[in-house]
Amino acid sequence: MTAKEGQQIVFVIDDDELVRDSVADLLRSVGLGAQVFGSAQEFLQTKLPDAPACIVLDVRLPGASGLEFQRTLANSNIKLPVIFITGHGDISMSVKAIKSGAKDFLTKPVREQELLDAVHACIEEDRAQRQQARLIAELQERFNSLTAREREVLPFVVTGRLNKQIAGQLKLSEMTVKVHRGQIMRKMRASSLVDLVRMADMLGIPPGKP
Amino acid sequence: MHYDFSVLRSEKGTDNDLHALQMKQIGLFLRRLAGAPWLLGGIGLVVVTVVGYRLGANVGIASCAYLIVVALLSLMGSFIATLAFSMAAALCLSYFFAPPISNLWIENASDAALLIVFLTAAIIIATVTAAATKWKQSLQTALDEKQQAQARLAAIVSSSDAAIVGKTLDGVVTSWNAGAESTFGYKAHEMIGQSITRIIPAELQKEEEEILRRIRQGDRIKNYQTVRNCKDGRRIDISLTISPVLDQSGNVVGASKIARDITAEKRAEAALQQIQVELARVARVSTVGELTAAIAHELNQPLAGVVNSGNACLRWLSSEPPDISAARKSGERVIAAGERAAEVIKRVRALVEKAPPQREQFNINDAISEVLALIPGEIQRNSISLRTKFANDLPLLFADRIQLQQVILNLVLNAIEAMSGVQAPRDLLVASAKSDSDDGILVTVLDSGTGLDEKSLDRIFEPFFTTKAHGMGIGLAVSRTIIESHGGLLWARPNSPRGAVFAFSVPAAGEQMS
């Protein structure tokens, strides 16, 4: 039942064994990995593989309701997209679900194409989210390799100031600033100033003030 | 003896006060006259004596004259005075007229005889007159009492809020009280001498003939509810009690009618019934609704399984190369889900069968009447003319009365709903008859509503099929199940010229359900 490492995977959480197995079967038949859980508790106790994934969740879970479960997920820092499936969805319930972050809200019996489209969209979203997270982690690593002085110079560089201006501001020689700038570009692996500005933006570094 | 009219106590009311005052004055005058017999008797005695003595009348003539005075005195009403003057007259006769004159001694035997005859006659006159006076007085008292009683009755009738009307056997109004005036709006002078049919709606004119026929037979009609017209054109619901009026020899000479306006009562009653019907309907729908939701969820789960696994199975088969073992597993899941769905259905059926039909013996006509009694509000609100045609020689049914009544109610409500939109006469006929095929009964509900097209006729008994905007499509399906569980048949056909006919037959003995 466990998915192979690196494969896209769908976590199916439904207390009805017949339903969750049939959903998993369907997902596997289109080449997706699927992992089934009988309850929210069971899911939270499992170590999740690092792969693009999403959750298909039955609202009428025993113990915690689906909406409650969604809140627990957010608190435990699991950012997986959730697709709700319900036997009898009403408007107020679907509004609540969507407001608390559900990506989709489907009613049983679910049309195959509808479910597959929703699952694909969610996995794509998760994949993009994961990529973004990975990129930020790497940039952070590069930023950490800068010296204290270089970190001091960086905000002024990305605001577009000339070396002379930065030297004046930080009471350094223009030559020293030029060396720091070269080091920053190299360590951050920035191909241009524009590239460096984008990286600083992603890292949330505030521009230096005169 | 004298009249004392002052003992008559006056009734309240100005007319009666005036009357009493007059009576009092007459009473005083007569009382004053009561002292007169002695005076008038004395004068009469003296006049007869003096005149007779001067003219030298004999005992016979004098006694005749005295008799006249005595008779007149007795007519004035004083028995004592009459007797006293008779004695005085006898003494005068003996003293002044019977020889020897100026002496009480009587010489001739014939004079003595005359004197005795005179006294006897005087006493007889006094006694007879007193008796006659007394008799006359008691007669007068009785008459007064009767008049008083009548006046009291008349006061009750005229002050009554209920309409009280008298009429002849031809329906001509003879009396019309204030209650009738306020109830119907017509004044007494507008109605007296007119035919009562004036206040009877055109379609109910036959009713009056029937009423008069029964009154002529001496029957009393009690609390008969019907509709009458008012002067201002309003129609009011009234409750009638009509009694024959008899003459002294017991012949029916007219009718007295008491009518009570029950429009408000009727309206309240109709509102109440409306609420009851609505309540029954809501209860029915909500039970069905809850049950449906629960069953729907129970069935949705395995159905979701069937659809998902079926789709998976197809994909496994169409992949390159086909994954037969995975497809087989999916197929097995389809079967498992299908079996579970069947299990759900079995459970639902077991649930329904827990309430077995309660069979009892009953008359179908009574059962139909009870159902129709539930819905006069619906009938009236939709302006439907309802007719019933019951066969009298029907066998008793042995069946679940409540269930059959549900079917009848369902068919009748459907018929009313089908007619509520049409702008033509809305005729509803509910009939019972012997069924042709077996010894059972046949109940037919005919309407003149929108009717059914060929397509609907084929499908109308299917569950969840409906031609109504807000229908569930359950009523007829349930009805057919009920009738079939009784070993009967329920069918529909178009009515002519328009509308629909729904009919069911049920065997009288009722087949035992397995």
The string of pLDDT tens digits covering residues A44-82 is 888 888 889 999 988 765 555 666 777 788 787 788 898
- The answer, for B303 touching chain A at a CB cutoff of 8 Å, is yes
Quickly state the pLDDT bin for A3 (edges 50, 70, 90).
very low
Q: Is the pLDDT of residue A209 over 90?
A: no
Beta bridge partners of B255: B167, B244
Q: How far apart are the C-alpha atoms of A37 and A26, rounded to whole Å?
A: 16
pLDDT (0 to 100) of residue B433: 92
Say whether pLDDT at A11 is over 90: yes
Q: Which amino acid is at B375?
A: I
**Quick check: A19 and B330 CB within 8 A?**
no
Which tokens belong to B450? 């929108």
Residues of B in contact with A112 (CB under 8 A): 307-308, 311
Q: B327 Cβ partners below 8 Å, 6+ apart?
A: B313, B316, B317
User: Which of A52-66, B245-259, B321-335 shows the highest mean pLDDT?
Assistant: B321-335
Question: What distance in Å separates residue B287's CA from the closest CA in chain A?
Answer: 18
Can you point out the beta strands (E) in B285-347? none
Q: Is the pLDDT of residue B354 over 90?
A: no
Question: What average pLDDT does range B275-298 have in this prediction?
Answer: 66
Which pLDDT value is given to residue B335? 94
Q: What are phi and psi of B305, to 5 degrees?
A: -60, -45
Q: What would the two tokens of residue B152 be?
A: 């009291």
Identify the pLDDT of residue A104: 84
B272 vs B266: CA distance, rounded Å: 10
Structure tokens at A57: 């969740």
Residue from A82, A77, A31 nearest A59 by CA: A82
Q: What is the CA radius of gyration of chain B?
A: 48
Average pLDDT, chain A: 84
Q: Would you place residue A109 in the very low, low, confident or very high pLDDT band (cuts 50, 70, 90)? A: confident
Are A29 and B319 inside 8 Å of each other by CB? yes
pLDDT confidence bin for A25, thresholds 50/70/90 = very high
Q: pLDDT confidence of B498, banded at 50, 70, 90?
A: confident
Q: How far is A105 from chain B (nearest CA, A)?
A: 16
Neighbours of A193 (CB within 10 A): 13
Mean pLDDT of B190-196: 90
Q: Please state, in angstroms and rounded to a whole number, the distance separating the CA atoms of residues A166 and A175.
A: 11
Of A16, A25, A30, the CB nearest to B309: A25
Taking residue A79's Cβ as centre, other Cβ atoms within 10 Å add up to 11
Residue B512 has pLDDT above 50, yes or no: no
- List % helix, strand, coil for chain A (3-state, nearest 5): 55, 10, 35
Most confident option among A137-151, B103-117, B265-279, B340-354: A137-151
| pLDDT, average across residues A114-142 | 92
Report CB contact under 8 Å: B301, A18. yes
How does residue A122 score in pLDDT terms, banded at 50, 70 and 90?
very high
Question: 3-state SS of B87-154?
Answer: HHHHHHHHHHHCCCCCCCCCCCHHHHHHHHHHHHHHHHHHHHHHHHHHHHHHHHHHHHHHHHHHHHHH
Structure-token match 């709006």, residue found = B185
Tell whether the model's pLDDT for residue B419 goes beyond 50.
Answer: yes
Tell me which of B155-164, B238-247, B276-285, B490-499 is least confident: B276-285
Do the Cβ atoms of B308 and A23 come within 8 Å?
A: yes
Whether pLDDT at B513 is above 70: no
What DSSP line would sit under B41-91, residue for residue?
HHHHHHHHHHHHHHHT--HHHHHHHHHHHHHHHHHTT-HHHHHHHHHHHHH
B101/B492 Cα distance (integer angstroms): 127
Beta strand pairing status for A104-107 and A82-86?
A: parallel
Mean pLDDT taken over chain B: 82
Helix (H, G, I), strand (E, B) or coil at A191: coil
Upper half-sphere CA count for residue B228 (Cβ side, 13 Å): 23
Q: How confident is the model at residue B63 (pLDDT cuts 50, 70, 90)?
A: confident
- With residue B156 as reference, give the H or E element that holds it: helix B109-159
Q: Which residues of A are less than 8 Å from B305 in CB distance? A: 18-19, 21-22
Residues above pLDDT 70, as percent of chain A: 89
User: Is the pLDDT score of B285 beyond 50?
Assistant: yes
Residue B259 corresponds to which tokens in the numbers above? 């009518």
pLDDT tens digits for range A150-170:
988 889 888 888 889 999 888
Q: ipTM, 2 decimals?
A: 0.72
Angstrom distance (rounded) from CA B397 to CA B360: 8
- Please judge whether B301 and A88 are an interchain contact, meaning their C-beta atoms are less than 8 angstroms apart: no
pLDDT of residue B291: 65
Q: Hey, what's the torsion of the CAs at B447, B451, B457, B461, to 10 degrees?
A: -50
Does A19 lie at the interface with B, CB-CB under 8 angstroms?
yes
**What is the 8-class DSSP label of residue A196?**
H
Mean pLDDT computed over B5-10: 41
Q: What is the pLDDT of residue B442?
A: 93
**Confidence band of B289 (pLDDT split at 50, 70, 90):** low
* Both tokens assigned to B207: 């009713």
Q: What is the longest distance spanned by two Cα atoms in chain B? A: 179
Inform me whether the C-beta atom of residue B337 falls under 8 Å from chain A C-beta atoms. Answer: yes
Taking 80 as the threshold, does the pLDDT of residue A90 lie above it? no
Is the four-CA dihedral A133, A139, A145, A148 of positive or negative sign? Answer: negative
- For B124-168, the pLDDT digits (tens) are 988 898 888 889 889 999 999 999 998 888 888 888 888 899 988
Please, how many CA atoms are within 13 Å of residue B139, restricted to the half-sphere of its CB? 6
CB atoms within 10 A of CB B301: 22
Which of B311, B326, B340 shows the shortest C-beta gap to A112?
B311
Residues of chain A contacting B315 with CB distance shorter than 8 Å: 26, 29-30
Answer for the pair B440, B433: CB distance below 8 angstroms, yes or no. Answer: no
Residue B209 neighbours by CB distance under 10 Å: 11
Considering the entire predicted model, what is its pTM? 0.43
B362 - beta bridge partners?
B397
Smallest Cβ–Cβ distance between B307 and the set A28, A87, A109 belongs to A109
Question: If you ran DSSP here, which 8-state letter would residue A110 be given?
Answer: P
- Quick check: A25 and B308 CB within 8 A? yes
Tell me the average pLDDT across B185-206: 88
Evaluate whether B473 touches B464 at the Cβ level (below 8 Å).
Answer: yes
Q: At A33, is the secondary structure helix, strand, or coil? A: strand
Query: Which chain B residue's Cα is nearest to A15?
Result: B301
CA atoms of B343 and B303, how far apart (whole Å): 12
Return the DSSP state at B218: T
CA separation (Å) from B51 to B44, B61, B63, B118?
Answer: 11, 12, 13, 19
Could you give the 3-state DSSP secondary structure of residue B403? helix
Percentage of chain B exceeding pLDDT 70 = 85
Predicted pLDDT at B18: 66
Comparing B421 with B326, the larger pLDDT belongs to B326
Bridge partners of A11? Answer: A35, A55
C-alpha span between B185 and B192 (Å, rounded) = 14
Look up residue B339 and give its DSSP letter: H
User: Which amino acid, one-letter code, is at B504?
Assistant: F
Beta strands, E only, A14-121: 33-37, 53-58, 82-86, 104-107
Tell me the average pLDDT across B176-197.
90
Query: What pLDDT does residue B7 have?
Result: 41
Whether residues B333 and A18 touch (CB distance < 8 A) is answered with: yes
Q: How far apart are CA A32 and CA B319, in angstroms?
A: 14
Please give the backbone phi and psi of residue A56, each rounded to the nearest 5 degrees, phi first: -110, 120
Residues of A in contact with B309 (CB under 8 A): 22, 25-26
Mean pLDDT of B428-432: 94
User: CB under 8 Å to A76, separation ≥6 — which residues?
Assistant: A44
Structural contact between residues B225 and B376, judged by C-beta atoms closer than 8 angstroms: no
Average pLDDT over residues B461-485: 73
- Work out the minimum CA distance from B307 to partner chain A, whole angstroms: 8
In this predicted structure, the answer to whether residue B413 has a pLDDT above a threshold of 90 is: no
pLDDT at B334: 94
Sheet strands (E) in B192-247? 221-229, 235-246
Q: Give the one of B303, B313, B326 whose C-beta lies nearest to A109's C-beta.
A: B303
Of A126-130, A205-209, B5-9, where does mean pLDDT reach its minimum?
Answer: B5-9
Residue at A66: amino acid letter: G
Residue of higher predicted confidence among B105 and A194: A194
Contacts of A16 in chain B (CB under 8 A): 301
Give the phi and the psi of residue A36 in degrees, each rounded to 5.
Answer: -105, 145
| Token code pair at residue B125 | 């006159």
Confidence of residue A210 (pLDDT cuts 50, 70, 90): low
Q: B328 CA to chain A: closest CA distance, Å?
A: 11
Residue B9, pLDDT > 50, answer: no
Chain B contact set for A19 (CB, 8 A): 301, 304-305, 308
Q: How far is residue A154's CA from residue A200's CA, in Å, rounded to a whole number? A: 9
What mean pLDDT is predicted for residues B173-198?
A: 90
Share above pLDDT 90 across residues of chain B, in percent, rounded to a whole number: 17
pLDDT category, B331, cuts 50, 70, 90?
Answer: very high
> Residue A58: what pLDDT?
80
CA–CA distance, B427 with B444 (Å, rounded to integer): 13
DSSP state letter for B203: G
Which candidate in A12, A15, A16, A18 is best for mutational testing of the B interface (most B CBs within 10 A)? A18
Query: Residue range B173-185: average pLDDT?
Result: 90
Q: Which residue has the tokens 């194409």?
A: A113
Of A26, A87, A88, the CB nearest to B308: A26
